[in-house]
Amino acid sequence: MFYNKGWHTSGTEKIKLCLSTYVDRYISLVRPRNPTVAAQILKIVGDLGDRVSFRAVWLEARKRGILSRDRAVRSYLDLLLAAGSLSVKCVRTKAPYPKEVYRVTGRKPVVFAGLQCLQHHGLTWESKGNDLQPIASDLEGVMRGHIFQLGARRIVMAGLEDCLIHELGEDAKKGTGYTELVAAMLATKSVDLPYMLRRADQRGLGKTVRFLLKRLEGLFASKPDVEDLVTFVSVRERFLRIMRNYASHGVDELIEEDGRGTLGLKIVRSLSDDDILAAAGKQSGARG
């Protein structure tokens, strides 16, 4: 593989690259909450009835050996509430404060994607106004998300991988032009590659995402044939570090699989190397 090859960079640039790689590795190793546990929490609420207090859920989770810490149970309940899988209301009791009771809604969970979400994942591009878009998801997608306060409402912001796949799909269907943005993020930021490729297969974008990654490999593995050499060297170093990270975990081989679905493939094929480099340079800060 070409990942061990390198180009000469200054000491300051090396420090910046090492720091960005450390952050990417740390973020990629943070384990999301377990969707199986989330399903068990939903089952507890359903089993206990329509007027289930937090304490009752917590004690039952401990009894069943699912979770023991109250904060862990609370974090699952909060995500399920924000995604619409649970609802909560306050009821009056003899205690000084009202009691919150939960019930299962039976609705499909919803997460939100859009450029505003990607900005929270490190996107440096500006978005115009509120472009948050609700998308139907599942417990795995919800557990990879983060709670975001939208006015008086709490929503689940989709994880990085689901946001990127969403933008590829939107460009293929509506011509948003954000495929370049996705290429820029993949060139400069680590993702959970097995998860992203699996979700891409489910959305009919499997071949497209793999081809995009191969385009990036081809661009940065070859001798530069681009106008902006400074940006090329800067982004190349960062991308190769990301690929070494994938290779160290043995997941880079997944890129060579066939994948399912060609939605958006023509758009990826139409991108020039200079288009990709310009977007990646803007994302990394190497180009204004």
Q: What single string gives the DSSP state of each residue in 107-126? A: PPPEEEESHHHHHHTT--S-
* One-letter identity of residue 236: R
What is the dotted CATH code of the domain comprising 35-104? 1.10.10.10
**How remote is the C-alpha of 278 from its chain's centroid?**
23
Return the minimum-mean-pLDDT range out of 33-37, 120-124, 209-213, 283-287: 283-287
Considering the chain, what percentage of its residues have pLDDT values greater than 90?
Answer: 73
Question: pTM of the entire structure?
Answer: 0.85
For the chain, where do the domains classified as CATH 1.10.10.10 start and end? 35-104
Give CA angle at 189 (185, 195), nearest 5°. 90
Beta strands in 105-256 (DSSP E): 110-113, 133-136, 146-150, 153-157
How high is the pLDDT of residue 181?
95
CB burial of 226-243 (b: ≥16 within 10 Å; e: otherwise) equals eebeebbbbbbbbbbbbb
**Phi/psi-derived region of residue 250, left when phi > 0, alpha when psi is between -120 and 50, beta in every other case:** left
pLDDT tens digit string along 230-241? Answer: 888 889 999 999
How high is the pLDDT of residue 28?
43
Is the Cβ–Cβ distance between 24 and 245 less than 8 Å?
yes
How high is the pLDDT of residue 123?
93
Helix, strand, coil percent values for the chain (each to nearest 5): 55, 10, 35
Give CA angle at 276 (273, 282), nearest 5°. 135
- Residue 103, H or E segment: strand 99-104
- The structure tokens listed for 249 are 């975990």
How many whole angstroms separate alpha carbon 75 and alpha carbon 147?
10
Candidates 198, 105, 103; CA nearest to 159 is: 198
How many whole angstroms separate alpha carbon 273 and alpha carbon 21?
23
> How far is residue 240 from each of residues 1, 75, 100, 217, measured CA to CA in Å?
11, 36, 50, 9
pLDDT tens digit string along 34-79? Answer: 999 999 999 999 999 877 999 999 999 999 999 999 999 999 999 9
pLDDT at 11 over 70: no
φ, ψ at 112 (rounded to 5°):
-120, 140
Q: What is the mean pLDDT of the chain?
A: 87
Q: Is 99 helix (H, G, I), strand (E, B) or coil?
A: strand
How high is the pLDDT of residue 35?
97
Token look-up 């709670």 returns 147
